[in-house]
Structure 1
């Protein structure tokens, strides 16, 4: 496996994985994971690195098991384990094409798929507590906003906007708690004829449905802007289909910046969080989000 030494510390573990599922070639590099595809096209090896590899692995496995029980088409787990500071899972490779937002028909199809998935996934569950993963734990101390704020790094508590963000997120404490995918974007939805396969569940959690909707809106804006696509020409009916909470969108934007370069989180324009939270109009909220991402891209923030 090319580049194997950088993701798995033990040659013995690597040989054992490849003897059953490989050999592999690397297909993508993300800040917190590496993905390899088997040369025979039957499986994918995902290696979790960086922030809490073991926890992200566990959350993904929990959500996949739960998604299967709820009738969602999710990847089959072929093997999983730990190696030093990293964790790994081998998934069966699913067929289908990723959704796209590069054309207006593709964008409409993508939102149709998202809303249908939301209808099945975001069903309130009595007694479900907010927190990471789909399985509640007795140690979960979270409110809805506490669950979102906990995902930001500790350094954010020292920044001028922290108290304001916590205040503006307070209304979501009254929202129903639902099961979340946690990272909804086009490449995580695979269309296979009449089937929709949903992949990449490592950010799964239990919280307000608007958090998943914020993921959709944020990734849509970022993908269009960083892809050089005409985000300003989106028809109003497309934008109105997005369920937008300005305060949760602000949180999602900050989460992105917090996980880029150390200095990027300091680039938040003064007053932005309150501006987004106050709009309550999809068109205006979308415009401000897109304007902000465009400005951050111009200042060198990596995708």
Structure 2
């Protein structure tokens, strides 16, 4: 049986990532996976070799990175089948040793299956340097968004705060920092593009950026702790009792309030976009903040709220960039102005 190859966005034609030609070639990949993955070799207990059932390109940022899913099947000696799904992360500028090391360290120090709190990360499975790829097991589950806004949302919010606190207390080998200066620099760059595309908003955006600078000045210096740096509902998967943190590629040291502020800012934007009311999920936001502060200490309260506002401001650029969200850009801009005190409610 020939493996199915699904490449809906044409990653194969990415000239900046020539390694994708091999990464999407079934005969080559099944051989490489057999050679390089101890787990895959252990699965091959029957006479039938491991088969590659399908390859799917799940995400592709042209010229930057690609996420590829590999579906494997092992036909056992008694006619049963063992299935294993892997995710391969490919980076155009070369193998991301750092992200692999961080995830492997977390997996081995409390974020693997023995974890009693059922808070984990996907299992890292190996490196394929010739493809600038590292592999991990695909974990089951769905992004927490739907569950978080459902009847059990408050209980899930408590677990999310616990997951973040666990990450911040870990010994993840992060070797870079994200500072408030970095955060403001990203805002200036991204909102500058919006102002260029929408000249009528240019003055308003300049006022927003100036207010963000003033808000940043209110955040006192705090300790640097391991941080996800992309902590929002899509990057947490819930499956029954398990909660997995995924997409740790930006993991770094940062202010303890950064990740929770980022998460709450995303919840505010979600509330505005899906319920036409930025206050509709305020109780949920308060639960997230209160539980995190209970665990980590109240010193992060100011930073959490400031970073939540900065994240909301960043959604001006995010909404302008995503076609299906562009109609919400004016509303996000207006809400940002209100939260920053530029205009009255």
C-alpha root-mean-square deviation of aligned residues, in Å?
Answer: 4.1
Q: Identify which of 257, 276, 282 aligns with 2:339.
A: 276
Q: Which residue number in structure 2 is paired with residue 283 of structure 1?
A: none
Q: Identify which of 57, 70, 73 aligns with 1:38.
A: 70
- Per the normalisation by structure 1, the TM-score is 0.66
Q: Which residue number in structure 1 is paired with residue 158 of structure 2?
A: 112
Q: Deviations over 1:17-66 (max 9, x none)?
A: 454345412345578654332233421123446xxx659x4553243134
What count of residue pairs does the alignment treat as equivalent? 261
Q: Distance in 1 between matches of 2:280 and 2:319?
A: 28
Q: After the TM superposition, list the runs of 4 or more consecutive aligned residues in structure 1 that deviate by more than 6 angstroms.
A: none
- Worse-matched range after superposition: 211-220 or 22-31: 22-31
CA offset at residue 111 of structure 1? Answer: 0.6
- Per the normalisation by structure 2, the TM-score is 0.59
CA offset at residue 201 of structure 1? Answer: 0.6
Q: Identify which of 299, 302, 308 aligns with 1:249.
A: 308
Q: Is contact 1:78-1:91 (8 Å) kept?
A: yes
Q: Deviations over 1:82-129 (max 9, x none)?
A: 679xx543211123444343543242233122111122123499xxxx
Q: How does 1:90-239 map to 2 (within 5 A)?
A: 90-101=135-146, 103-123=149-169, 135-136=174-175, 144-152=179-187, 154=189, 160=206, 161-227=208-274, 232-234=279-281, 237-239=283-285
Larger Rg: 2
Which segments of 5 or more consecutive residues in structure 2 lack a partner in the other structure?
34-51, 73-83, 112-119, 196-204, 290-300
CA offset at residue 260 of structure 1? Answer: 5.6
Closer, same or farther: CA 171–272 of 1 in aligned 2, 3 Å: same
Closer, same or farther: CA 221–155 of 1 in aligned 2, 3 Å: closer
Which segments of 5 or more consecutive residues in structure 1 lack a partner in the other structure?
126-132, 280-287, 289-303
Q: Which residue number in structure 1 is paired with residue 6 of structure 2?
A: 2
Closer, same or farther: CA 272–196 of 1 in aligned 2, 3 Å: closer
Question: Higher relative CO (CA 8 A, sep ≥ 6), structure 1 or 2?
Answer: 1
Q: Distance in 2 between matches of 1:272 and 1:186?
A: 20
Q: Is contact 1:64-1:201 (8 Å) kept?
A: yes
